[in-house]
Amino acid sequence: MSAIKEILFADKKNFHGDVDERFVDLAEQFSRLQDGRTQLGGAALTVYFQGKKVVDIFTGKKSETENWTSDTLSVCYSTGKGVLATLAHILVSEGFLDYDTPVLKYWPEFGQNGKEKMTLRHILSHQSGMFDIRNMIAHANEMADWQHMLKVIEQAKPRFQVGEDIAYQALTFGWLVGGVLEKATGQPLKWLMQKYLVDPLALDGAYFGVPSVELVNVARLIPKAQKHIAEQVAQPKKAKKKSKISFSDKLIELSGQNPQDFLDAMVPKSMREFSFFSDEGLQAVIPAANGVFTAKSLAKIYAMLANKGVWEGQVLIKPEVFAELSKIQNIKRDRVMPIPMKWRLGYHRVITMGKRAKKGFGHIGYNGSGAWCDPQRELSFAYTHNFAIGSITGDYRLWGLTQEALRCADAELKGSKGWF
């Protein structure tokens, strides 16, 4: 059956959890998109609207032998960048640092090799020139050593003059931002996360470095089923097909960008020998790539942002700080990403299938997970999963679910769902 037919004739109720009647269409779309592949993995979706949780559902497999549950944690790749950026904005609100003071004031060892004028604003908006992980370290395993990577960042030289270009810091973002936060406060990143984000929002699962006791709750990749040996022997060997060009690769090619910049930002040397899903990879602190969350935690973080930094009477982000973090910093084309990102301070635009969220922002992950908010609609959204897929621009399921979440909100706000 083709993918389109599989979706059209899918079970609309293949999920567990709670749904507000105004968002039933979104829940049914979630079910259609997951139904045909629930033996290959699982997924969760949480949405807040006007300060209330309106969708909290999940389906599928957490591992080969376990079903997804309401507290299943998921590796979310770059979706974690938005969480780390949110922590940074809270600490700016708390007065520990600001966006435009040179980083070397907080982190003297950082101010070398052309980084003397670099600020937190440059880093959060991907204008630092510090994207080239491939030439910073000799082996991907080095990423698991937090203190070592801070030393690497201290000694690294930007690929272009600070503030003169944009290049997505696919892996370096976490050490850059996390390092500044640690040096400015004198506290470790895990402590800062707990004190300023997890506890105030009562999050049920949000980690950069999963505690050993929580490893059992993390969704793992499910290996693809192998054909029976006798069946393999009986079938004649086929000539190897030329591997297909991925959608992301095609975008890079069509955009006219330099593929080497993409490789340098995204793929450390010996990456095949390192897994974010291994216990070592999960317990390491690699905030740009291995953030582990429940959909509920992500959606609540962005619900606070949808409410302009306030949650249940607590002001986590001051109004003047919120005004800064949500501004587009530069519309120049990114050297790494093949589509316009409209970078804010640590977030990009909301990617949909037609609907617009002009004031919305968030972050997607390489596996097609994602979380975002739209303050104009008082809407937040988070989608997590453990399927073995990858694309730097996300997955069509993420775009489609984003589109339907906006449509359901507009049905309530405007009296019509609409497509655009």
Task: Please state the three-class secondary structure of 172-221 as a single string.
Answer: CHHHHHHHHHHHHHCCCHHHHHHHHHHHHHCCCCEECCCCHHHHHHECCC
Q: What does the pLDDT look like over 271-310, one tens digit per residue?
A: 999 999 999 999 999 999 999 999 999 999 999 999 999 9
The per-residue pLDDT for 230 is 42
Structure tokens, 40: 């290959």
Is the model's pLDDT at 92 over the cut of 50? yes
Of 224-228, 325-329, 359-363, least confident by mean pLDDT is 224-228
SS3 284: coil
Name the phi and psi angles at 349, rounded to 5. Answer: -65, 165
Which of 150, 201, 197 shows the shortest CA–CA distance to 177? 150
* pLDDT tier for residue 242 given thresholds of 50, 70 and 90: low
State the pLDDT at residue 227. Answer: 42
Residue 172 has pLDDT above 70, yes or no: yes
Ramachandran class of 95: left when φ > 0, alpha when ψ lies in -120 to 50, beta otherwise: left
Class of domain 82-198+249-283 as given by CATH: alpha beta
Task: Band the pLDDT of 233: cuts 50, 70, 90.
Answer: very low
Collapsing DSSP to helix, strand or coil, 314 comes out as: strand
- Residue 127, C-beta contacts closer than 8 angstroms, at least 6 positions apart: 121, 162, 163, 164, 165, 166, 329, 330
Do the Cβ atoms of 285 and 146 come closer than 8 Å? yes
Given a cut of 70, whether residue 72 has pLDDT beyond it is yes
DSSP 127: -
The pLDDT-based confidence of 231 (bands split at 50, 70, 90) is very low
> Of how many residues is the chain composed?
420
pLDDT digits (tens, 9 = 90+) for 336-354: 998 999 999 999 999 999 9
Domain boundaries, the chain: 3-40+60-71+295-414, 82-198+249-283
Mean pLDDT value across residues 373-399: 92
Whether the model clears a pTM of 0.85, i.e. scores above it, the answer is yes
Whose tokens are 């999960």? That residue is: 282
Using one digit for the tens of pLDDT, what is the confidence trace for 243-266?
555 555 565 566 667 899 999 999
Structural contact between residues 43 and 67, judged by C-beta atoms closer than 8 angstroms: no
Quote the strand ranges of 237-388, DSSP E.
Answer: 292-293, 310-311, 314-315, 361-364, 370-374, 379-385
- What is the pLDDT of the chain when averaged over all its residues? 93
